[in-house]
């Protein structure tokens, strides 16, 4: 009994590095610090600085590309990403994540709504529900999961893993930029979306990987 339990625990810890939980806690702590300030309608000097810079950028660049790319983090864009993730990226090689992905993203949507409602900070254009950025939160969860799957996949060359991961990170960064460009978020809103999205993602990976760990490696009849 003890040997089987010990073997199972070793298996869990081998597959689930402790940094998943440590990273989730650190990200959550960062979000809480930002949320406390946001709840009191506090802003940072960099918030005003980046908004001023964005006004200059808007005068020199076309509006349409940013208006289009920002839709990737909207409701329709997330639905399309989920469909692509399930049918193209996950179903053949990561079936458990293909099943979990829709629920994971639905949870991210619920978390986004709850966080925005609880803080109630206005956007730069004075419309409501600015903190945290829902676009950034959702995309951090989706593309963060893609990075995790690419990084932990076997049989792939390192350079292709790095390229795929870089594209995921770049996509999140471009959409985040578009939210400031369109005057929909302060920089601290984006930071809030990133930190809470990352905390949620790391915790979800830890939970789902443990829940689906291959128990066949534990001898029959042992826990």
- pLDDT digits (tens), the chain, 223 positions: 444 444 444 444 445 667 888 899 999 999 999 999 888 887 888 999 999 999 999 888 888 999 999 999 999 999 999 998 888 766 766 778 888 899 999 999 999 999 999 998 999 988 899 999 999 999 999 999 999 988 877 666 778 888 889 999 999 999 999 999 999 999 999 999 999 999 999 999 988 877 665 444 444 444 4
Six-digit token string for 176: 């985040």
pTM of the model: 0.85
Q: Which residues contact 168 (CB under 8 A, 6 or more apart)?
A: 143, 144, 146, 147, 150
What's the CA gap between 21 and 203, in Å, rounded?
Answer: 6
Q: For residue 18, is the peptide bond before it cis, meaning its omega torsion is within 30 degrees of 0?
A: no
Enumerate the domain spans of the chain: 2-217
Q: What is the CATH code of the structural domain delimited by 2-217?
A: 1.20.144
């Amino acid at each position: 009994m003890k040997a089987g339990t010990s073997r199972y625990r070793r298996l869990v810890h081998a597959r689930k590095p402790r940094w998943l939980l440590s990273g989730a806690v650190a990200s959550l702590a960062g979000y809480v610090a930002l949320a406390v300030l946001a709840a009191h309608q506090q802003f940072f000097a960099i918030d005003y600085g980046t908004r001023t810079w964005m006004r200059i950028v808007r005068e020199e660049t076309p509006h349409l590309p940013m208006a289009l790319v920002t839709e990737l983090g909207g409701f329709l864009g997330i639905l399309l990403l989920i469909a692509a993730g399930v049918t193209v990226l996950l179903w053949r090689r990561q079936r458990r994540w293909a099943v979990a992905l829709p629920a994971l993203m639905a949870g991210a949507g619920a978390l986004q709504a709850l966080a925005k409602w609880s803080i109630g900070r206005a956007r730069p254009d004075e419309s409501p529900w600015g903190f945290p950025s829902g676009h950034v939160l959702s995309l951090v969860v989706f593309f963060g999961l893609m990075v995790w799957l690419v990084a932990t996949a076997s049989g792939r060359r390192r350079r292709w893993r790095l390229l795929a991961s870089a594209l995921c990170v770049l996509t999140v960064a471009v959409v985040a930029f578009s939210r400031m460009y369109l005057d929909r978020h302060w920089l601290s809103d984006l930071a809030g979306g990133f930190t809470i999205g990352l905390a949620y993602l790391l915790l979800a990976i830890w939970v789902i990987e443990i829940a689906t760990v291959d128990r066949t490696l534990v001898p029959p009849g042992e826990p």
